[in-house]
Every structure is written in C-alpha cells, then in structure tokens.
Amino acid sequence: MRRPVKLVLFDIDGTLVWTDGAGRRAIHHALTEVFGGTGPADYRFDGKTDPQIVRDLMRTAGHGDGHIDARMQAVFDLYLQRLRAELRAPGYRPRVLSGVYDVLDALESRADVVLGLLTGNLAAGARAKLESVGIDPDRFRVGAFGSDHEDRPSLPEVARQRARERLGLEVAGRDMVIIGDTPSDVACGRAVGARAIGVATGRYSVDELRRHGAAAVFSDLSETAAVVAEIVGPRD
C-alpha cells in the first residue's frame, strides 16, 4: 500500500537560518521612515507574521488600524529594500543552522515528501533570507507567507490550497508536518490537524516547546535520521 505524501512545512527564522536581527533592523528602519518611530523596543518578533509585527508595534505607538493599513505597503517596500541591504552588508554573516542541509536533502530525495515553507515572513523577504545563506528557495515547492495572511493560524490552509492548485495534491491535515522553533509554529496547524515538530534553535527550550504541544522536539536538526523518521512516520 502506497503511503500518503507528507507536506512538510518549515519555518525560516530560528529554524532554517539565523540572520542576527537583520529583519528587526529592517522593519525598525521602515517604521521610523513611515511612522516616525519603532514602537516598544522589547517587542518579540519570533512566531509572528510581518503584518502582525507592524500592526502590534504601531497600535502600541498609538496609531489606529485604518492609519496602519493605509501605510502598510509603504512599510513593506522600505523593509524589503533595507532587508536586502542588511543581508549584503560587509562583514555580515547570516548562517544556516545545524543539520538543515542534510535534513532538506534527505526529505527532498523522497517520493513521499513535498518540501514547503510556512513562515511569517513576506514571500520576498523569505526568498532574500534563504538566498543570503545559499539555500535555493525554489526547492520548497509550496509556501505560505505573512504576505498571504496576517494571522499565522490561517497559513496551514493556504499551504494546503497551494499544494492542491500547483501540484494537484490533496493533503489531509494529518499528513501536514510543521517544523519550527516557537510555540506559534507548534500551535498554528492545530485547526487543520497538522502535526508539529519543535526545534529548540531559537528562544524556546526543548521543554517549553514540548509543553506547548509539539509531537516531538529536537535540540537542532543535526540528527538527520531521527528527524526524518519523526517527520515521515513508521513504514507500513
């Protein structure tokens, strides 16, 4: 009996790559240019979509939603320009996190896996970050991004619809696997029945991610065979 295809959706920041705050610096630059300030300095970006970050920061700074919405695209245009500059800056060294290449290669070689992305980044920002560390964004055949929806829990359904439209692939929620480093990654697929695997390469520990309901948690992705086995499940 042929096993169902797994749609495996990776977060980017803190899961695949480390960019040393390039996105934060770029958004702060854009917010300062468009709104005159950045909002609170202690705001946590991890696990959020780019539109949510802008809205949260500017609401806290006293701006109404209508004012924010009218300027959102201007913020993103400036953000993407600055992000690309940050990623190309002399002496700046973004890096791929441990085990990522081997896990991607192992999964991509399988006929029962489709690689994808599920990230709060804008699609163009996701591409820029991956390219900055030498990961080809096109190896991810399906993507769901912050530019698709401000609400992260809406992104798994976006990914499933794209798999259907672009690949002719019908994926049940139980055959979706979301891999990320934050509780938001762990939680976002629950509505569709997706399975979440945590990787403690960001701000959250193995224990914290497990407490938030991850089906499995790894300290990083370096144990290739174990990670792949957890993603694809036991053989029939």
pLDDT tens readout for residues 132-159: 999 999 999 999 999 999 999 999 999 9
pLDDT score of 87: 94
Confidence of residue 234 (pLDDT cuts 50, 70, 90): low
pLDDT tens readout for residues 44-96: 999 999 999 999 999 999 999 999 999 999 999 999 999 999 999 988 888 99
Is the pLDDT at 236 greater than 60? The verdict is no
- Region of 85 on the Ramachandran plot (φ > 0 left; ψ -120 to 50 alpha; else beta): alpha
pTM of the full structure: 0.95
Reference 151, options 218, 222, 53; nearest CA is: 53
Rounded distance, CA 234 to CA 236, Å? 6
pLDDT tens readout for residues 180-219: 999 999 999 999 999 999 999 999 999 999 999 999 999 9
Give the HSE-up count for residue 216: Cα atoms under 13 Å, Cβ half-sphere. 17
Domains in the chain: boundaries: 6-19+94-232, 22-88
pLDDT score of 1: 47
**Fold category of 6-19+94-232 in CATH:** Rossmann fold (3.40.50)
Q: Provide the 3-class DSSP secondary structure of residue 13.
A: strand
pLDDT tens readout for residues 96-132: 999 999 999 999 999 999 999 999 999 999 999 999 9
Q: Which CATH number fits domain 22-88: 1.10.3720.10, 1.10.150.240, 3.30.70.580, 2.60.40.2310?
A: 1.10.150.240
